[in-house]
A and B are shown apart, each in its own frame.
Chain A
Amino acid sequence: MTDERSPRPADAPFDLSCPVPLSQYPHVLLAHGGGGKLTQRLIEQLFVPSFDNPALRELHDGAVLDVGGRKLAFTTDSFVVTPLFFPGGDIGSLAVHGTVNDLAMCGAKPLALSAGLILEEGLPMEQLRKIVDSMRRAAASVGVPIVTGDTKVVDRGKGDGVFVNVTGIGLVRDGIEISPRRARPGDVILVSGEIAVHGIAIMSVREGLTFDTVLVSDTAPLDGLVDTLLSAVGEKVHVLRDPTRGGVASTLNEIAGQAKVGIRLEETKIPVSEDVRGACEILGLDPLYVANEGKCLVIVAPEAADAALDALRRHPLGAKAARIGEVVADHPGRVVMRSRIGGLRIVDLLTGEQLPRIC
């Protein structure tokens, strides 16, 4: 191309350029569902003010309702994953696990699930059968029945094969009160295993990336793990969250904001598998922001931290559990991490989708 402006002598004053800011998005972007700042804004500026009530205001993975003296946990989650089948799972098992896990993160035993299926015209019946069977097996593995459901079919081209919604109710265990707001300075932060596995597994299939080893999604129901944990340390557990979209970084930022505390992480303590680290290095992604489906973050009173870690490690899904940081009184609302070489950096919420860098 030929640039339209003429060359400027090297010592001439420069243009100090800057584009007009995009202050509002007039359309929904993918990033509005990415779990980062745009998602948070949508929740804070549209959903919460529109539906405002005390249970919603908690902004936990599920709502906890008082019903005749018992505490009921209630949650819903929709799944739109591509591809429908991926190493380690499929949209059916993922949907059941996701909702079971949201209930588990409220400290609840799941009681019943619903299944809402939006099917695209032309979906091979064999695929639907596989997905439904996978849902059945996932629910059976935690002993929770799927008690009601709904089916809709949309025109070809208007869906991605199948969209699945699973809603669940559960009974909160006696004496347990888990909420993001309960994180307090001194508490210890644990993670139940290696992070970023699901997101990288999905991305490698979706984008046709091939590595020497096949990365398998970590999708799993966390009900049993939470059972083991709560049996060991019970009410000493202050917060449970499964860091799905937006990863560990986004979830911890939400907790720091809701509890008005600071969070301090140690980069070297965060378990990341060699495969995932390698993939993240190649793609220029930060594993802290990559989705997980079978992991949970546990924030626990300091005196119970060792017992909690032992309990997690006793369970097969928590074998690689680790202590990754602590809650502090400094820098409320902020997550700060000590880097591998000793420097400090702030771990912020992502603005949009995490995008691979150019070089």
Chain B
Amino acid sequence: MRYVDEYRSEEAVRKFAAAIRDGVTRPWTLMEICGGQTHTLIRFGIDEMLPPSVTMVHGPGCPVCVTPLEMIDRALAIAEKPGVIFTSFGDMLRVPGSRTDLLSVKARGGDVRMVYSPLDALELARKHPDREVVFFAVGFETTAPANATAVWQAKRAGIRNFSLLVSHVLVPPAMEVILGSPTNRVQGFLAAGHVCTVMGYREYEPIAAKYRIPIVVTGFEPLDLMQGIFLTLKALEEGRVGVENQYTRSVTRDGNVKAQGVLREVFEVCDRAWRGIGVIPKSGWRLRDEYAEHDAIRRFDVGTITAEEPSVCIAGEVLRGIKKPNACAAFGTDCTPEHPLGAPMVSSEGACAAYFNYGRTV
């Protein structure tokens, strides 16, 4: 398949693996930000092709994993309301809240539907004017423009029965939390190519300068990752800091300016709780007051929701790259994708699920 096979060539990947082996003189620890990148690393066995002195730790870039339990409970409470059609991307349907998950709400009669785009949810709202259609808007900067567009269109078309349950999170503040932590081990980052496709990479330049690290904007195919790792290690070995762009076929320094315009029009920055990490200031987006009518949080009164998370699993340490999933005592025994104890085991992009599904039990 064109534009895919080229980036999955064993020969090309091995060439970069050899260059990495030849060029590395010291141990280095790198973090790939995005869950999609973690998935590729493990699915193709890329990390096993690296020399033992290079450690890849897996970042917090899995939207399903970092969505707080309170937000999932809120989603469940809204989905259980009569008259609501609750829509979501597939991944979120299986994420357990405190007592149930969306698929179980559906099994008990709730109208929960999987959609491929928030615009499909908007279409449902058009078709069912007597119902309340809610879309669960989770994710990073990547998924936000489509969600913003859906709300923007709803407002202009006067579709008043459409709302978003927004739990958007932003990458740069999470990177700063990781880098600013006294236990930080990360010496270089592979930034998330799709996030940067939307946002560009100007906002990473001050982070690279402040923490004296290389950041390489990287794609998602095996060859992208191998090249991104190579460029990051090369910069580390040469003592260079700053932002480089491996994913030039998709990312520019300024990003998608038009998408950013819609985002600014619809969303404003807010503090946001990250599951496993806690509240990070200015790390999320919420709907502006002008869009209050389409904000499910303001539209549906579900009472006060607080969720207690017993501290059994090490999701927080996994999400911050301090521990690997298989270092957890519960990994693969008490905690499996079927019975997840922590969110990274739920989504296929979660580091724990990637380890489990691809058999990294030791």
Contacts and interface: CB of A to CB of B under 8 A. Distances in A.
Contact of B101 (A5, A6, A22, A274): A22
A37 B43 CA distance: 20
Nearest to B4: A281
Given A3-B273, A27-B104, A281-B4, A19 B98 contact: yes
B93 interface: yes
B338 A207 contact: no
Q: Is the interface of A mostly helix, strand, loop or mixed?
A: loop
Interface of A: 1-8, 10-12, 14-23, 25-31, 37-38, 207, 209, 274, 277-278, 281, 283-284, 334, 336, 339-346, 348, 351-352, 355-359
A11 B315 contact: no
A132 to B, nearest CB: 32
A1 B43 CA distance: 36
Nearest to B322: A14
Contact of A341 (B10, B96, B276): B10
B352 to A, nearest CB: 11
Contacts of B68: 17
Interface string B1-44: 10010001110011000000000000000000000100000111
Contact of A345 (B272, B334, B359): B359
B138 interface: yes
Contacts of A11: 180-182
A334 B359 contact: yes
B313 A356 contact: no
Contact of A358 (B108, B139, B176): B139
Contact of A10 (B13, B177, B270): B177
B64 A342 contact: no
Given A22-B96, A278-B1, A346 B143 contact: no
Given A29-B104, A342-B10, A274 B1 contact: yes
Contact of A277 (B4, B48, B277): B4
Contacts of B273: 3, 5
Given A358-B64, A358-B139, A358-B349, A343 B45 contact: yes
A26 B100 CA distance: 10
A16 B183 CA distance: 15
18 contacts: A2-B270, A5-B279, A17-B275, A18-B312, A19-B98, A23-B339, A207-B116, A283-B116, A339-B43, A340-B10, A342-B10, A343-B46, A344-B48, A345-B358, A346-B357, A356-B89, A357-B90, A359-B139
A274 B166 CA distance: 36
A355 B94 contact: yes
B129 interface: no
B311 A18 contact: yes
A2 B271 contact: yes
Nearest to A273: B1
Given A19-B341, A348-B356, A357-B90, 14 more contacts: A7-B281, A8-B278, A8-B279, A17-B69, A17-B311, A17-B315, A18-B341, A22-B96, A29-B104, A283-B116, A342-B49, A355-B90, A358-B64, A358-B143
